[in-house]
Structure 1
C-alpha cells in the first residue's frame, strides 16, 4: 500500500493534485457491506470524470470500535469535498476529512493494520487505484520477492503461475522459488530441482 501511495504522489505532482485524508465510519456495524466503499469511490470518480480528471486513491478498512475506512484521495486543487456531497455519497454513517499535508505520516497511519482480527470474513482490507501504467508496474515490482527481482530484466511484467511460481508475461519463461518450506523451516532447493 505504501508503494501505491508513493506512486500516486509522483503522479499527483505532475498533474497538480492535492492529497485529502478521509475517514468513513459506519454508524452501525450491522450495516456493513464491502460494496459501500466501491459505491463511494464510484461517485467521486464520476464527479471528477465530468471535470476531466482521474481519481488516484488508497483505502484501508479498520475496526477500532466501529468499522471504518481510512482513505487518501488525490484531488484537483479546485475540487471541494463539502459536507453535503459527503452526506449524499456516504449514507451509512459519519465522515471526517482534512487536507493531507503529511502524506507519509497518513500513509503509515493507514498501513498500521492493528485490528485485522475482528473484520468480517472475505472482506478486502485495502485497495488502491487510479495509477498510470508506470505506477502500476512500479507497485507490482515492489511487491515481488527479492529472488525474483534479481532474475527479471528491467521492465518485465510477471504473473502468478497456477501450481506455483511466476511467469514472465512477455517471454512465457517460468520462475520457481529457490526456497522450499519444510517442517524445520525454509531450505534452498537443489539447483536441478524444478
Structure 2
C-alpha cells in the first residue's frame, strides 16, 4: 500500500463531493470567487496555521457583512514549479458579496458606526481574486495535479485540502464516500460508522461491527492480504438511496 497514493485518492474523493455539495447548497444568484494564496519566499516561511488564520479572517469578514460566521468554502494546496506550496480557494457567497483581496487590509463598521481597519487575511505574500465560472472544475483541475510521487514534497505536516460550510446532507455524502468499500456496501449515508479499536468500523447507533477485509502481512502496514469477504447489501439504484429499511437523509 502506498500511503501517498492513498492520500491523493482521499483528496480527490473528498474535495470532489464537498465542492459539488457546497455549490448545490447555494441559491441561483450566489457569487462564487476563486482566490490564490502565494508565499513571497520559500517553504521555510510556511507554517501549518497560516491557512487556518486566513479562513478565520474570512469568517470575521463574512460576519461583519452578514452577521453569520458560516462560510461555504473549499481549498486545495499545490506545489508551484519552484517547489513552494500555495493554496487555491473557492468561496461561495450570497449575491452581491465580494470578498476583499486577501493580501490587502479591509474595513468593517461596528454597531456604533465606527470604522475599523482589519489586517490582511493573507500577510505572507501575494494573492489573486477572480469570479469563478466553473468552481468544481477549477478545484479538481488542481487536485488532479497532486500525484503520489509529488505529495511527499509538501512541507511536513501540511494539509493538502479542506472545506467548510457543508450542510448535513453534504457532510453525510462526504463521509460515505471516504469509507472503505466493505462499509459503503453495508451503509447508507445516514449511518454513523467510525473506525473501531483493533480494526474495522463500528456503527455508533447500532453497535454493528464490520471487520476489515484485509490484514497486514508484516510491519510497516505496507503489504496486506485479504482475510475475508463481507457480503454487500447494495441496492443498484445508487449509493445515496440504499437500504429501504433505514431512514434516508432528507433532501
Q: TM-score range by the shorter chain?
A: 0.7 to 0.9
Farther-moved stretch of structure 1 (175-184 vs 51-60)? 175-184
**What is residue 105 of structure 1 aligned with on the other side?**
137
**What is residue 44 of structure 1 aligned with on the other side?**
58
**What is residue 128 of structure 1 aligned with on the other side?**
163
Query: Does the aligned pair in 2 maintain the 1:180–1:189 contact within 8 Å?
Result: no
Farther-moved stretch of structure 1 (66-75 vs 178-187)? 178-187
**What is residue 174 of structure 1 aligned with on the other side?**
209
- Correspondent of 2:32 among 16, 19, 23: 19
**What is residue 189 of structure 1 aligned with on the other side?**
228
Whose helix proportion is higher, 1 or 2? Answer: 1
**TM-score of the superposition, structure 2-length normalised?**
0.68
Over the aligned positions, Cα root-mean-square deviation in angstroms equals 2.3
Query: Does the aligned pair in 2 maintain the 1:62–1:116 contact within 8 Å?
Result: no
- Correspondent of 1:34 among 21, 44, 48: 48
- For the pair shown, the structure with the greater C-alpha radius of gyration is 2
Farther-moved stretch of structure 1 (158-167 vs 144-153)? 144-153
Shift of 1:180: 3.7
Query: Does the aligned pair in 2 maintain the 1:59–1:72 contact within 8 Å?
Result: yes
- Correspondent of 2:99 among 69, 81, 91: 81
Q: State the aligned residue count.
A: 190
4+ runs deviating over 3 angstroms? 82-87, 179-186
Quick one: structure 1 residues 13 and 44, their matched pair in 2 at CA, closer, same or farther if it must change by over 3 Å? same
**TM-score of the superposition, structure 1-length normalised?**
0.86
Whose strand proportion is higher, 1 or 2? Answer: 1
* Structure 1 runs not aligned, ≥5 long: none
**What is residue 56 of structure 1 aligned with on the other side?**
72
Farther-moved stretch of structure 1 (124-133 vs 36-45)? 124-133
SS of the residue corresponding to residue 138 of structure 1 reads helix
**What is residue 160 of structure 1 aligned with on the other side?**
195
Shift of 1:128: 1.1
Quick one: structure 1 residues 154 and 34, their matched pair in 2 at CA, closer, same or farther if it must change by over 3 Å? closer
Farther-moved stretch of structure 1 (126-135 vs 144-153)? 144-153
**What is residue 86 of structure 2 aligned with on the other side?**
68
